[in-house]
């Protein structure tokens, strides 16, 4: 248990690294360490010891964050063993695994708070860090390079009810130059993939990208904005191009 606590205390590390240390600490704590293997499944991703094999001789415990199940931790024997309490496993081993799963959940809750800059003890606010990044993206856009006239934030991030898997919805008004828009799409794709990785490090939820961008010409934008207003939906216009380009840095 000391090795598990030590791994969970290394909070500067990413969840995959911590999971790896925890898994390596498990076999020595079971009756048959030479035949013991383990894995953690978290938000659809699997982290397992080298040589892991799934067998009928397993025990498991759920990992939960904010009372919601987000994964499981499993211990498997690679070969059949004599019957003990639950199959080949001891009651104490199940209690130990339950304790470890609980501590992993506490660690992941802390990790969410620490990385998202939220106050300990408060409910997670998924919209807040998304809005900060949306503002940063708009501020970093070079209007002359990309032909961007305005940027609007809308949807769940703008109204403050984004969930753990929500996109960042942006509406960009551009001058219609095809090459500029291609360059802009590529530039935004880089942001989208980086933000997906941020989201994974925060919450462990994999994503192909976090930005959902709609491109409009100035004429289309007039109609779209009227449609938003008629439907009672809100948009937030973000300042564009207020971060100096690298060649303008002092």
Residue 11 lies in a domain: yes
What is the Cα–Cα distance from 244 to 87, expressed in whole angstroms? 65
29 with 59, same domain: the answer is: yes
Give average pLDDT by consecutive 10-residue segment, the chain, 250 residues. Answer: 76 80 91 94 87 92 84 93 91 92 86 58 68 92 92 92 88 89 94 86 77 93 88 90 56
130 with 195, same domain: the answer is: yes
136 with 189, same domain: the answer is: yes
Q: Which domain holds residue 131?
A: 126-241
DSSP label at residue 11: T
159 with 61, same domain: the answer is: no
For the chain, the straight-line distance linking the first and the last C-alpha, in angstroms and rounded, comes to 52
Is this model's pTM higher than 0.85 or not?
no
Number of domains in the chain: 2
65 with 133, same domain: the answer is: no
Residue 81 lies in a domain: yes
At residue 56's C-alpha, the angle toward residues 53 and 58, to 5°, is: 80
Residue 248 lies in a domain: no
CATH of the domain at 13: 3.30.450.40
> What confidence score (pLDDT) does residue 115 get?
58
Domain boundary among 116, 137, 153: 116
- β-strand partners of 45: 42
The label of the residue with tokens 């948009």 reads 235
Closest CA to 62 of 101, 26, 100: 101
DSSP label at residue 192: H
Contact between residue 144 and residue 124 where contact means Cβ atoms under 8 Å apart: no
**pLDDT tens-digit readout, 105-143:** 888 888 766 655 554 444 457 888 889 899 999 999 999
Closest CA to 124 of 137, 115, 133, 136: 115
CA 49 vs. chain centroid, Å, equals 23
Here the tokens at position 171 are 């509406």
Residue 195 lies in a domain: yes
CATH of the domain at 130: 3.30.460
Neighbours of 219 (CB within 10 A): 10
74 with 149, same domain: the answer is: no
> What confidence score (pLDDT) does residue 4 get?
80
Domain boundary among 116, 147, 178: 116
39 with 104, same domain: the answer is: yes
Closest CA to 220 of 189, 180, 174: 174
What is the Cα–Cα distance from 112 to 107, expressed in whole angstroms? 9
> What confidence score (pLDDT) does residue 141 get?
93
> What confidence score (pLDDT) does residue 199 get?
80
């Amino acid at each position: 248990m000391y090795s598990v606590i030590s791994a969970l205390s290394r909070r500067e590390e990413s969840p995959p690294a911590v999971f790896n240390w925890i898994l390596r600490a498990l076999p020595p704590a079971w009756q048959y360490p030479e035949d013991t293997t383990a894995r953690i499944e978290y938000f659809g991703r699997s982290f397992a010891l080298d040589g892991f094999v799934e067998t009928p001789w397993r025990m498991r415990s759920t990992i939960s964050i904010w009372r919601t199940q987000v994964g499981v931790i499993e211990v498997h024997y690679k070969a059949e063993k004599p019957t003990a309490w639950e199959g080949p496993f001891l009651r104490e081993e199940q209690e130990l695994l339950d304790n470890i799963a609980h501590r992993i959940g506490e660690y992941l809750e802390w990790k969410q708070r620490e990385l998202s800059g939220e106050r300990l003890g408060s409910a997670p606010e998924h919209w807040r860090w998304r809005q900060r990044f949306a503002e940063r993206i708009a501020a970093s856009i070079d209007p002359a390079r990309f032909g961007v006239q305005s940027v609007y934030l809308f949807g769940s991030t703008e109204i403050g009810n984004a969930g753990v898997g929500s996109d960042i919805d942006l509406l960009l008004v551009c001058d219609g130059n095809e090459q500029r828009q291609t360059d802009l799409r590529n530039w935004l794709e880089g942001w989208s993939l980086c933000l997906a990785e941020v989201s994974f490090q925060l919450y462990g939820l994999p994503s192909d990208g976090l930005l959902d961008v709609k491109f409009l010409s100035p004429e289309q934008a007039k109609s779209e904005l009227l449609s938003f207003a008629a439907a009672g939906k809100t948009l937030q216009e973000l300042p564009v191009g207020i971060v100096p380009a690298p060649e303008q840095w002092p």
